[in-house]
């Protein structure tokens, strides 16, 4: 059981992510998580404000079911399939994080400095979550996809637009990690 309870190495996780994509293709669909955000807008009545949201959301119900499953999967993985092994971050990463003021890198999946209610209920904390979410939601629709739609599905289908999008992901990610995070923390 240890090999299930311990964190899975990249050479196990990588092919399993391909399996998810292939299953969805064989089911006649595509692997793309961010379109659910658009579906949620449509369900909320966004079509009144922009034709962009004039879609038949029922034809995307299957993807909302994938989301529901993903939430359940997250619950199962943490409750029953984990043994609390800390994340095996590189020593350099841990040193960099400590220098930024992150006290216990790797003991949780997410840093309490950002996601604990104490942090979230401060002005800085709520701004971080709202801005992060907004940028992801805006950027992913502008780019026409996210990590699953572009980095996994698009690159697997040898799409040049997806390569450009992934280069964009890295431009933004590198700017944030190297220049902006040190200003925030």
* Site residues (CB under 8 A) for other proteins, limited to 101-160: 105-106, 109-111, 114-117, 120, 126, 128-148, 150-160
Structure tokens at 41: 């807008």
Q: Which of 1, 2, 10, 183 binds other proteins (CB under 8 A)?
A: 10
Q: Could you tell me the CA-to-CA distances from 130 to 33, 115, 124 in Å, in that order?
A: 19, 12, 10
Angle at 140 between CA 137 and CA 142, to 5 degrees: 105
Give the number of C-alpha atoms closer than 13 A to the C-alpha of residue 4, restricted to the C-beta side: 7
Q: How many residues bind other proteins, per CB under 8 A?
A: 126
Which of 48, 65, 122, 182 binds other proteins (CB under 8 A)? It is 65
Residue 101 C-beta: closest distance to other proteins, Å: 13
Q: Taking CB under 8 A as the rule, does residue 60 contact other proteins?
A: no
3-state SS class at 185: coil
**56, 58, 62, 183: which one contacts other proteins (CB under 8 A)?**
62
The rounded distance, in Å, linking the Cα atoms of 162 and 19 is 20
* Complex with other proteins: residue 57 or 82, whichever CB lies closer: 82
CB of 58 to other proteins, least distance (A): 12
């Amino acid at each position: 059981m240890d090999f299930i309870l311990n964190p899975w190495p990249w050479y196990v996780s990588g092919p399993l992510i391909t399996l998810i994509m292939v299953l969805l293709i064989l089911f006649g669909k595509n692997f793309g998580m961010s379109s659910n955000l658009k579906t949620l807008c449509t369900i909320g009545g966004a079509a009144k404000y922009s034709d962009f949201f004039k879609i038949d959301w029922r034809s995307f119900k299957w993807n909302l079911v994938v989301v529901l499953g993903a939430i359940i999967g997250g619950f199962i993985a943490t409750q029953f399939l984990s043994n609390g092994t800390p994340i095996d971050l590189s020593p350099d990463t841990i040193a960099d994080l400590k220098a930024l003021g992150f006290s216990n890198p790797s003991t949780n999946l997410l840093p309490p400095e950002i996601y604990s209610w104490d942090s979230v209920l401060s002005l800085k904390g709520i701004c971080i979550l709202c801005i992060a979410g907004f940028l992801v939601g805006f950027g992913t629709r502008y780019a026409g996809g996210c990590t699953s739609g572009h980095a996994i599905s698009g690159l697997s289908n040898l799409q040049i637009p997806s390569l450009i999008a992934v280069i964009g992901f890295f431009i933004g990610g590198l700017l944030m990690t190297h220049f902006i995070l040190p200003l925030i923390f």
